[in-house]
Every structure is written in structure tokens, then in C-alpha cells.
Amino acid sequence: MKEEIDKVVYFDGICGLCDWSVNLLVKMDTQKNLKFSSLQGKSGQILLSNLKIDLNEFDTVLFKVNDQVYTKSTAVFKIIESIGGFYKIFLFFNILPTKFNDWVYSKVAKYRYKYFGKLDKCDISKFNIPGQFID
């Protein structure tokens, strides 16, 4: 019997770049293996609290695979791994040191609102995919 793996992407629900990225992930995830939750939502706030991260700190994507949680560039690479297919070509960047990848990730995160905009609220209803979005 195959064990079901729970994979949840936690993202900044008011970030334009994050919104665009989730839109892209929904399209890329043809097997529908991923679930999504805003860090500002109930589930996201519980996870942040459990990880002892400031409840108003939304500058990293979190990728939870069962009980393991990945952050920053490691989360991005794990998400790409889980989607598979052609997208695995981007795992090439994983040969760079994690410290460097996290530094690049942090720089993008720092300026994400400035360059990609900030939404008024997280509107997951626009994705119209029942069961893939959790609160």
C-alpha cells in the first residue's frame, strides 16, 4: 500500500510575486500533489507559531512534506523536485551553496513588494481548484 505524502506550500498571500508563483505551480503540478496555504491564513499562522517564527513574518516560502518543513531556497528546490518533469532542470542551481542560494532568495524577498506589488488580500478562490487550497 502506498503511503500518502502531504505536501503543502505556504506562501505570502499578499505578495504579487508569490501570487504569480502559486498560479504557476498550480499549472505545473499536473499530478495535483501540492496543496497551498497562505501564511496569513489559519493553517499558516499555526505553522509559523509551531516553528517559533514571528506571526507577521512572511518573507519565506515554507514547504511542508509530512512533518518536515523546508524554508527559503531549500523549499523552492524541494517544490521543484516534487513537481518533476522538465522543471527539474532548475535543480542545477542547487549545486551552489545553500548559503548563497538563501542570500539570493532573501534579496528577492526583501524587494518583492517594491518590484512585484502587494495585494489587498489573498484571494485563493480565483484558482478554483477544490481541495488544493487550505486555510
The confidence score (pLDDT) of residue 1 equals: 46
Helical ranges in 14-123 per DSSP H: 16-28, 42-50, 72-83, 98-110, 112-116
Q: What distance separates the 2 farthest-apart alpha carbons in the chain? A: 48
**111 phi and psi angles, rounded to 5 deg:** -110, 15
Query: Apex CA 61: angle with CA 124 and CA 106, to 5°?
Result: 130
Amino acid at 126: K
Domain boundaries of the chain, sorted by first residue = 7-127
pTM for the structure as a whole: 0.88
Please give the share of the chain, as a percent, with pLDDT higher than 70.
90
Cα 12 to Cα 44: distance, rounded to the nearest angstrom: 9
Query: 37-82: per-residue pLDDT in tens?
Result: 999 989 999 999 999 888 888 889 999 999 899 999 999 999 999 9
**Neighbouring-strand partners of residue 10:** 37, 62
